[in-house]
Amino acid sequence: RVVAVIMVGGPTKGTRFRPLSLNVPKPLFPLAGQPMVHHPISACRRVSRQFPPSFVSWIPSLQIPNLAQIYLIGFYEEREFALYVSSISNELRIPVRYLREDKPHGSAGGLYSFRDYIMEDSPSHIVLLNCDVCSSFPLPDMLEAHKKYGGMGTLLVNKVSAESANQFGELVADPDTNELLHYTEKPETFVSDLINCGVYIFTPNIFNAIEDVLKQKKDRANLRRVSSFEALQSATKALPADFVRLDQDILSPLAGKKELYTYQTLDFWEQIKTPGMSLRCSGLYLSQFRRTSPHLLASGDGKRTATIVGDVYIHPSAKVHPTSKIGPNVSISANARVGAGARLINCIILDDVEIMENAVVIHSIVGWKSSIGKWSRVQAIHLGEGDHNAKLGITILGEAVDVEDEVVVVNSIVLPNKTLNVSVQEEIIL
Ligand code: GDD
């Protein structure tokens, strides 16, 4: 049996995701019309598919032969996840539960603090996922590889450009055996362009490894108490003794000990730390839908539907005028209204937004209950390769922003509850 755990973090994380994380916990922000965390959850469900999908749908009880539970572990308030976990449990017919840490324990410490829940079903394997990564999550293949390697853990890894590698855990793997030989978290000097994707499969022995680290930390803290100078030093610098990071505290010391192995993804993978990345990842998931769930994509082939270009998601409750033109990479959430002649390209339109006649939205995220007036433009301008406005790259309107008629908003971030009656460019409106 397999138990899946998704680390969702908490409100102190995700500050780079503002202003979008002011309304909704980052893991519930919609990508391709589904909460961010929905995508790894769907991938976990695929672990349980031992039978061809057509066969499974005939006998629904066969859908969960393998996957016992999915836990989301975080330090957000419970009520923020309550509705989502109950609806997704019903939809997938797999128990999904939110477990709240009283304070952050680090990625491995958080896992460890709920070991009794996780071990309740005596799983042979634990799938552990960061919620803020976008991937096809090739879990069934990874699980097969993990069983062959015979180690305690297998990490999903990916090749990235040498310039961007230092934002991640960099690692070296044996090209023949795939054993993890060396691991450094976000190093200052370049080690490798092979990086940790934040997707793991472990045997329950991971809990022994975390326990060992906790013991060492406690021993060290006791030793320090002996010297008052060191005690002062550690009080100002050290993390709490029950704070364990999976990367620095577990992966680094266990590399090269035949305990950890790697599985390289050749499919898409991105990290989602900023709103700009969420827009890109929304597009990646929409194009994945073309292969996995084409029924979720707008077809635009009826006479009364808008012109659809490329991959587009439109929530069934949204009202989109037939003379509007939408796509590619557009996701329109519940109760949004798009007026006649409007043009939408590469954008996320959140719940209850109104886009009036002939407005244009390009490379943007439009926050809940915002409205964009007639003939207005909300967009980002990419100034060509290399000169691409790295700082913004997109325009973001927070919740309940009103852009009046004929106003142009370019490469800007607008915080919630603002009214724009003049055009702005490259501004952050506080
Ligand atoms: N529940 C809980 N409690 N979750 C946590 C905690 C905690 O105390 N700390 C972090 N997380 C969650 C975050 O929400 C995120 O999903 C995941 O754990 C990892 O977060 P960080 O520890 O902040 O690391 P990171 O995202 O900067 O980098 C990690 O992921 C990269 C891939 O996206 C590292 O593992 C890198 O090596 C890796 O490349």
b/e for 88-110, b at 16 or more Cβ within 10 A? bbeebebebebbebeebbbbbbb
> Ligand 1 pocket, 252 CB below 6 A?
no
Report which protein residue has its CA nearest ligand 1's atom 25.
168
Contact present, 134 and 272 (Cβ < 8 Å): yes
Give the model's pLDDT for residue 46.
Answer: 85
Give the model's pLDDT for residue 62.
Answer: 44
**Could you identify the residue written with the tokens 């958080």?**
110
Helix (H, G, I), strand (E, B) or coil at 40: helix
> Ligand 1 pocket, 8 CB below 6 A?
yes
Q: Measured in angstroms, how far is the CA atom of residue 420 from the centroid of ligand 1?
A: 37
Quote the DSSP letter at residue 251: I
Is the pLDDT assigned to residue 387 strictly greater than 60? no
Q: Measured in angstroms, how far is the CA atom of residue 152 from the centroid of ligand 1?
A: 20
**Could you identify the residue written with the tokens 């827009």?**
279
Is the pLDDT assigned to residue 389 strictly greater than 90? no
Q: Is 224 or 93 the better-scoring residue by pLDDT? A: 93
Q: What is the DSSP string of 109-164?
A: HHHHHTHHHHHTT--SEEEEEETTEEE---HHHHHHHHHHHTSSEEEEEEE--TTT
Q: Measured in angstroms, how far is the CA atom of residue 107 from the centroid of ligand 1?
A: 6
Contact present, 40 and 128 (Cβ < 8 Å): no
Q: What is the mean pLDDT of residues 138-154?
A: 96
Contact present, 130 and 198 (Cβ < 8 Å): yes
Give the model's pLDDT for residue 16.
Answer: 82
Give the residue among 207, 202, 212 at the shortest CA–CA distance from 260: 202
The burial class, CB within 10 Å (0-12 / 13-18 / 19+), for 215 is exposed
Give the model's pLDDT for residue 64.
Answer: 37
User: Cα separation of 89 and 266, whole Å?
Assistant: 30
Q: Is the pTM of this model over 0.80?
A: yes
Helix (H, G, I), strand (E, B) or coil at 7: strand
Instruction: Give me the percent of the chain exceeding a pLDDT of 90.
Output: 79
Q: Which atom of ligand 1 is nearest to the CA of 167?
A: 39
> Ligand 1 pocket, 73 CB below 6 A?
yes
Give the model's pLDDT for residue 421.
Answer: 97
Give the model's pLDDT for residue 217.
Answer: 85
Instruction: Give me the percent of the chain exceeding a pLDDT of 70.
Output: 89
Report which protein residue has its CA nearest ligand 1's atom 29.
198
> Ligand 1 pocket, 283 CB below 6 A?
no
